[in-house]
Structure 1
Amino acid sequence: MAPPPPALLLLLLIAVTVPLSDPAPVFPDEALPTKSGYLPIPPANASLFFAFYEATQPLTAPASTPLLLWLQGGPGCSSLLGNFFELGPYFVTPDAETLSPNPFAWNRRFGLLFIDSPLGTGFSAAPSPADIPTNQSVIAAHILAALQSFLALDPSFRARPFFLAGESYAGKYVPATGAHILDVNPTLPEARRVNLRGVAIGNGLTHPVAQVATHADSAYFTGLINARQKRELEELQAEAVALTRAERWREASDARGRVLSRLQNMTGLATLYDAAKQRPYQTEPVAAFLNRAEAKAALGALGDVAWEECSDAVGAAMHADVMRSVRPEAESLLRRTRVLLYQGVRDLMDGVVSTEAWLGGVGWHGLPAFLDADRAVWRTRGDGELAGYVQRSGALSHAVVYGAGHLVPADNGRAAQEMIEDWVLQAGPFGRRGGDGLRSAA
């Protein structure tokens, strides 16, 4: 047989000697957290997983650039859902293979910290089922211990303004932890104090006995149920309220579950978290991505821990906590720091009516002035699109976010980013005189 022509031989050599390009890394360098891994919590002889992203475009000097801690709800849902689906710098793509930049990331103006809490949540494996907390006091102590471990990682962190934020069941974690921090601070050396400047709660479950009584009204006055269904739902709500007042906590939690289940059945909605959606939030790719060995290694997570969006074990451990209130802690915060409450207008689970039901009864000297304050139309900067409505007085700001359900940053990223940045930095509609973006709704 004749030898191959020289040109063909050259092509064959090139094919053999030129290496194939490496596949794209799971985590490109620009998507890696600034710091991540585990924060010791000495009271429990355990640790909580964290991921921290430094501010990318801060408006303040590094020493005064705010830090914000995000806590997810559940109970037992991982803050990495917030990271990779709602407000972090990169989102998991629908194919669960790659990451894409989030143009409305919350770490643009300040450092953003995610912690998987309580123990047993996300990558924060509990040493044993008995170590999973069952109440807000233990959770708050664990978060403060983890926060102390985080602040010790960099000497500059301690003096930076610190803010607590979270959504849904974090409507309990945030007030409980914030009040605990402010209670403990005076007992600590100055070098160990946390510079807490405010808390933000999105679509929060905070005072359940008042909130569970609002579902029938919310659904009826939006046309989702009729008068007969409203009466049926009110009977179920009354049962949940009575059990809560009797402090029969597990039974009360079950009764609330029946209210929500019946409401779901009556309305036929894909999810109570957003009345406008035809499908529930599509969060499954986050789990597929985070359970890849490469993703765990990049984040510094334990390789043998299976990441779950929400832990059934934590949910079971916290079952008796569901109907307990943290309104006293919220009242304590209003007397000592700034508070932002925000809700997506389409949420039927823990939405606007639900929040206003408990807010109207808080024991705070500034409440009459707040209730009498204007509720102003709020528009995004630049394009002037309707972002929602803002009402504020003294330490309290309340924002209703248009075009959003339970997961506000996932539904209306632009409005959510402007809201949190302006509130933290006291600018725009949250500035001392209101500022750009507000129009009177009177």
Structure 2
Amino acid sequence: MTRFVLLCLLALIATAATKGKGFGPGEQDYGYVTVRDGAHMFWWLFHTTADVADSSERPLIMWLQGGPGGSSCGYGNFEILGPLDLDLNLRNTTWVNDFNVLFVDNPVGTGYSYVENPSLFTTDNKQIAADLLTLMKNFYEQLPQFKKSPFYIYGQSYGGKMAVDFAHLIYKESRLGNIQSNISGVAMGNSWISPVDSVLSWAPFLYQVSLVDDKGEKEILSQAEYTKQVFDQGLYEQATDEWATTEYVILDKTDGVDFYNILTKMERGSSHNKRTIKQQAVDRQTYNKYYSSRAYDLDQLMNGIVKEALGIPRTVHWGSQSGDVFDYLAVDFMKPVIDVVETLLNETNLNVHVYNGNVDLIVDTPGQMVWINKLKWNESADFQTAPRKTIWVNNIMEGYEKQGGKFTMFWINVAGHSVPRDNPAGSRAFLKSMTGF
């Protein structure tokens, strides 16, 4: 059987959900959706284990990983908040304890998702949102009990950038009657909302935490300002290259600080270059040395026993198209979505949350505050004048929160790029605020 014929046969069954044992504990549903001819997106739902008569009584949370090209079904599930960790032990802090969690390998080409032709990779955020809308239409057809469940979109890193456009689209389409969804909120975690603001914040942040000296700060800032200059000229793909160069300068001046947790260091070698730095945006966005001794390598796990358990086609190799996903979005990578966040605040009734770990570098909190303070919306004055409240959990200060109207910001302590993994107690605060549970 030729590869073309096999892919055509796979497409015929791509919209059918599978209900079965899956992999790991609890009730699961999973399957492919053909979001465009030749473009197949994989989703994996874990029904909540909360003590309810039907799982649809609890909210549905979609988790979108970053990169772009990072797998929600892999990284988000096994490394951050799914029911099993990389030792395949039960995770006490899994979000599945309280919510239905929907992991999506997005954009197409990520994780188990795949395209039959390179022309089908997405090239901007609007295309990504349209594919996710198609997926959710099919999801609700397969599992109609969730149409009335409050639906929340959580995105980490580039996943947050994707989340805001998708939230706006599904809200608009639900109001037009084109999809029945109880979309209720969107949350951006350490999210790539205004890339230039993040890049410009790196040098002063590293200096303030004593990771570079005066000379190092000046060299990093010089390269960061050049990145902005290129971006302002409309040379967007080159700006993505200069972003990678700025990170390379940081590696050199800090002797390998981990972009995803400044308390750790990245392994360095002669192979470090722009290409490997870009790939790390896809496949190292959650990993650091504290997690290097797990029983399973994620690639081995996803292409081995998990793939077999889920019945993934043999021709699909988990993560094999992730580098292409990033490359096809290189023009869009550095573009901000501040205007979409403003639209969500001004034209919808959705709750909009931002949360950030205080030891992340790539999307550090100072950079986040720059774009947050730029927001123009009808209740911005309420947010600016609101008190910042301390988050206490078991007499431990886990961070701070500040709310004005529909918008809430959470500063989470002792957390890097992946807040739910690094500080589960702090994460419960923003989950409760958003959902009520």
Give TM-score scaled by structure 1 length. Answer: 0.83
2:321 and 2:221 map into 1 onto residues whose CA distance is 29
Deviation at 1:270, TM superposition (A): 4.3
Residue 434 of structure 2 is matched in structure 1 by 424
1:186 and 1:55 map into 2 onto residues whose CA distance is 28
1:68 and 1:102 map into 2 onto residues whose CA distance is 18
Q: Is the 8 A contact 1:32 1:298 kept in 2?
A: no
Q: Is the 8 A contact 1:35 1:51 kept in 2?
A: yes
Deviation at 1:233, TM superposition (A): 1.6
Deviation larger for 302-311 or 348-357: 302-311
Residue 89 of structure 1 is matched in structure 2 by 83
Residue 35 of structure 1 is matched in structure 2 by 29
Residue 13 of structure 1 is matched in structure 2 by none
Q: 1:291 aligns with which of 275, 279, 303?
A: 303
1:123 counterpart SS class: coil
Whether 1:164 and 2:153 are equivalent positions in the alignment is yes
Residue 177 of structure 1 is matched in structure 2 by 166
Q: 1:237 aligns with which of 211, 224, 244?
A: 224
1:244-289 deviation line (CA, Å, top 9, x unaligned) = 1221101111111111111122112341110112455247711111
1:307 and 1:74 map into 2 onto residues whose CA distance is 15
1:87–1:420 distance in 2 versus 1, CA, 3 Å: farther
Q: What letter matches 1:400 in structure 2?
A: W
1:339-393 deviation line (CA, Å, top 9, x unaligned) = 110111100110211110111101112222212211222122xx22221111111
1:111-142 deviation line (CA, Å, top 9, x unaligned) = 10000011110000111111110111110000
Q: What letter matches 1:287 in structure 2?
A: D
Whether 1:259 and 2:246 are equivalent positions in the alignment is yes
**Percent identity between the aligned chains?**
26
Deviation larger for 272-281 or 229-238: 272-281
Deviation at 1:408, TM superposition (A): 1.2
2:105 and 2:134 map into 1 onto residues whose CA distance is 13
1:263 and 1:44 map into 2 onto residues whose CA distance is 42
Matches within 5 A, 1:135-150: 135-150=124-139
Residue 18 of structure 1 is matched in structure 2 by none
Residue 70 of structure 2 is matched in structure 1 by 77
Q: What letter matches 2:112 in structure 1?
A: F
Residue 322 of structure 2 is matched in structure 1 by 311
Q: Is the 8 A contact 1:78 1:309 kept in 2?
A: no
1:86–1:166 distance in 2 versus 1, CA, 3 Å: same
2:33 and 2:83 map into 1 onto residues whose CA distance is 21
Deviation at 1:62, TM superposition (A): 4.6
* Structure of higher CA gyration radius: 1
1:65 and 1:224 map into 2 onto residues whose CA distance is 44
1:310–1:126 distance in 2 versus 1, CA, 3 Å: closer
Q: Is the 8 A contact 2:24 2:83 kept in 1?
A: no
1:60 and 1:360 map into 2 onto residues whose CA distance is 44
Deviation at 1:30, TM superposition (A): 5.0
2:28 and 2:413 map into 1 onto residues whose CA distance is 32
Matches within 5 A, 1:67-216: 67-80=60-73, 81-93=75-87, 99-189=88-178, 192-216=179-203
Whether 1:369 and 2:365 are equivalent positions in the alignment is no
Deviation at 1:194, TM superposition (A): 2.0
Whether 1:324 and 2:335 are equivalent positions in the alignment is yes
1:37 counterpart SS class: strand
Deviation larger for 55-64 or 320-329: 55-64
Structure 1 alignment gaps of length 5 or more: 1-26, 94-98, 428-442
Structure 2 alignment gaps of length 5 or more: 1-20, 267-286
Q: Is the 8 A contact 1:287 1:309 kept in 2?
A: no
1:107 counterpart SS class: helix
2:388 and 2:150 map into 1 onto residues whose CA distance is 28
Q: What letter matches 2:98 in structure 1?
A: R
2:23 and 2:366 map into 1 onto residues whose CA distance is 43
1:28–1:325 distance in 2 versus 1, CA, 3 Å: closer
Q: Is the 8 A contact 2:38 2:120 kept in 1?
A: no
Whether 1:341 and 2:354 are equivalent positions in the alignment is yes
1:220 and 1:180 map into 2 onto residues whose CA distance is 40
Give TM-score scaled by structure 2 length. Answer: 0.84
2:320 and 2:207 map into 1 onto residues whose CA distance is 32
1:78-136 deviation line (CA, Å, top 9, x unaligned) = 1021101100111121xxxxx11111111222110000011110000111111110111
